[in-house]
Amino acid sequence: MSTPKRPAAAPVRAAIYVRISSDRTGGGLGVERQEADCRDLAARLGWDVAAVYADNDVSAYSGAPRPGYLAMLDDVKAGRVQAVVAWHTDRLHRRTLELEEFVALAESHDLQVQTVRSGQVDLSTASGRMVARMLGAAAQHEVDHARERMKRAKVQAAKDGKYRGGKRPYGFERDGVTHREEEADVIRHATKAVLAGRSLRAVCRDLNAEGHLTSGGKEWGPILLRDVLLRARNAGLIAHGTANRAGFEVIGTAQWEPVVDEDSWRAVVSLLTNPKRRTNSTSSENRWLGSYLYRCGRCGAVMRADSTAGPGSNRPNQAKRVHYRCTAAAHLQITQERTDAYVREVVAERVRDPRVVAALTAAKDSDAATADHERRTALAARLAAFEDDYAAGHLTGAQLARATATVQAEVEQIDARLAARVSRSALAPVLSSNDPGKAFLDAPLDVQRAVLAAVLRVEVQPATKRGVWWSPERLTLTAVGE
């Protein structure tokens, strides 16, 4: 009689965690190589890879949240994974506080930990935990030493404010300090144009038509122009990183003279890094006055331009028609041509009113603006203090992230208010002309859209009379700020 076979034990469900602090190319090749090595190790151990958690271009000691790491911890707590595979222990932690949190979680959930380079990390025994803490202490020392070097370098850079070499920056001579005036004028013009509501693509089109080339002798494109306008050096500042990426920080005043004032530069940064900014060059927003500015009178959603089919083989005499439609539901539309013509005339008359012009061109250095500047300086000091507390071990990564997020939210609100003031002042070419109404009507579409957004809120109401699809009564026009 044969002995019945015992059922095979279910394979261990493992999580692979990969991380790289700085992905300079943006290709994610570092984490891909780590994942391949970790998969090989899991296969040798006979473990099933249940999930891969990646944090690309995220430091383990910067204080920035690690979404992949946090998701992995949640799955460990939920019992979805029973083991963790990493390339090295320092991919998981580089701070002792986070290590202790991980050790406690591993003990409570019998978590197995294996690494490609450091071998098994047995957190179930006192000796294994001691080894893990020794590795963690070494990583913490490396982190602290690196932070000291970085802080000294930042302080020195802020003190010196010197050009640190590299490719000739657009707007400056090869010494990186002296303005190349023709190019500096392009930066000033483009800054004002973008703040006045012009799209990057439209500004590039004008620059190329006028024969202005980049420092590399090429024509302008929207991405390149955006990168040039976001540079802190334009405002005479030294910065670490770039304004449209995580980790950006202004660290001091440069030795060269600013090309644009700091308020204008910050306003451009706020505008061009806004995640709500629409960048689709084929969007109807770029071709029609009211797209995403007009509002639906039924539900309050924005409206967009939508066209009906033009002439075809079966309808040779049908003209192409454009309507504004509610983006939330198919319950409201209005013809584009007559609506835009009417709104343009109303806006032209409004900007001829000296009181409206005075409100839109109020001095930037008002009491409110001064208070915002002072508050922003105080908040920047608080953010620096949080980092010092984190480096000293007084705050965990989670505490630093929460405190930073709260303060950063207020900073963003202040930047938005300052940007709005500067943007209003950038409308001056229209508002300061002898006839602002005519200047508005003659302006490019993107400038008209900016003026409209600054002075008038347009709400489209449903038709009230059968057969009457357009009338001025369908438009509720309200002055901005009322």
CATH number, domain containing residue 71: 3.40.50.1390
CB proximity list for 401: less than 8 A, separation 6 or greater: 63, 64, 65
Claim to verify: residue 436 and residue 421 sit in the same structural domain? no
Q: Cα–Cα distance between 164 and 180 in angstroms, integer?
A: 18
Rounded to an integer, the average pLDDT of 200-207 is 90
Q: Cα–Cα distance between 360 and 321 in angstroms, integer?
A: 35
Claim to verify: residue 447 and residue 406 sit in the same structural domain? no
pLDDT at 160: 60
Q: What percent of the chain has pLDDT over 70?
A: 76
pLDDT category, 274, cuts 50, 70, 90?
confident
pLDDT above 90 (res 196) = no
Claim to verify: residue 136 and residue 17 sit in the same structural domain? yes
Determine, yes or no, domain membership for 76: yes
C-alpha pair distances (Å), 328 with each of 164, 188, 283, 469? 51, 39, 17, 20
Rounded to an integer, the average pLDDT of 448-459 is 90
Strongest mean pLDDT among 56-60, 138-142, 207-211: 207-211
pLDDT above 90 (res 426) = no
442 in Cβ contact with 294 (< 8 Å): no
pLDDT at 280: 45
**pLDDT tens figures, 350-359:** 999 888 887 7
Q: Cα–Cα distance between 427 and 15 in angstroms, integer?
A: 55
**pLDDT tens figures, 396-415:** 777 888 888 888 888 878 87
Claim to verify: residue 467 and residue 337 sit in the same structural domain? yes
Q: Provide the number of structural domains found in the chain.
A: 4
**Two structure tokens written together for 425:** 């002042």
**pLDDT tens figures, 12-62:** 999 999 987 654 444 445 788 889 999 999 999 999 999 999 887 665 555
pLDDT category, 431, cuts 50, 70, 90?
confident
pLDDT above 70 (res 366) = no
Weakest mean pLDDT among 38-42, 156-160, 289-293: 156-160
pLDDT above 70 (res 279) = no
Q: Which domain holds residue 236?
A: 181-272
Answer yes or no: pTM beyond 0.95: no
237 in Cβ contact with 250 (< 8 Å): yes
Claim to verify: residue 298 and residue 433 sit in the same structural domain? yes
pLDDT at 23: 45
Claim to verify: residue 206 and residue 111 sit in the same structural domain? no
List helix spans (H) across 240-323: 262-272
pLDDT at 241: 75
Determine, yes or no, domain membership for 176: no
348 in Cβ contact with 438 (< 8 Å): yes
Q: What are phi and psi of 390, to 5 degrees?
A: -65, -45
CATH of the domain at 233: 3.90.1750.20
Determine, yes or no, domain membership for 158: no
pLDDT at 315: 57
Q: What percent of the chain has pLDDT over 90?
A: 32
pLDDT at 62: 54
User: Of 164, 195, 177, nearest to 261 (Cα)?
Assistant: 195
Rounded to an integer, the average pLDDT of 178-198 is 89
**Which residue, of 116, 144, 172, is where some domain finishes?**
144
Claim to verify: residue 223 and residue 348 sit in the same structural domain? no
pLDDT above 80 (res 96) = no
DSSP 78: T
**Which residue, of 144, 173, 204, is where some domain finishes?**
144
**Which residue, of 144, 161, 192, is where some domain finishes?**
144
Determine, yes or no, domain membership for 454: yes
Claim to verify: residue 340 and residue 435 sit in the same structural domain? yes
pLDDT above 50 (res 342) = yes
Rounded to an integer, the average pLDDT of 427-439 is 84
Determine, yes or no, domain membership for 334: yes
∠ CA 187-188-191, rounded to 5°: 80
pLDDT category, 346, cuts 50, 70, 90?
very high
pLDDT category, 420, cuts 50, 70, 90?
low
Determine, yes or no, domain membership for 149: no
pLDDT at 132: 64
Determine, yes or no, domain membership for 28: yes
Q: Cα–Cα distance between 414 and 18 in angstroms, integer?
A: 37
Instruction: State the average pLDDT for the chain.
Output: 80
Determine, yes or no, domain membership for 155: no
pLDDT at 398: 78
Claim to verify: residue 23 and residue 76 sit in the same structural domain? yes
Claim to verify: residue 332 and residue 454 sit in the same structural domain? yes
173 in Cβ contact with 181 (< 8 Å): no
pLDDT at 141: 58
Q: Cα–Cα distance between 340 and 437 in angstroms, integer?
A: 15
pLDDT above 60 (res 167) = yes
pLDDT above 80 (res 70) = yes
pLDDT above 70 (res 281) = no
Claim to verify: residue 434 and residue 459 sit in the same structural domain? yes
**pLDDT tens figures, 214-260:** 988 899 999 999 999 999 999 999 887 777 776 677 877 888 999 99
Claim to verify: residue 18 and residue 133 sit in the same structural domain? yes
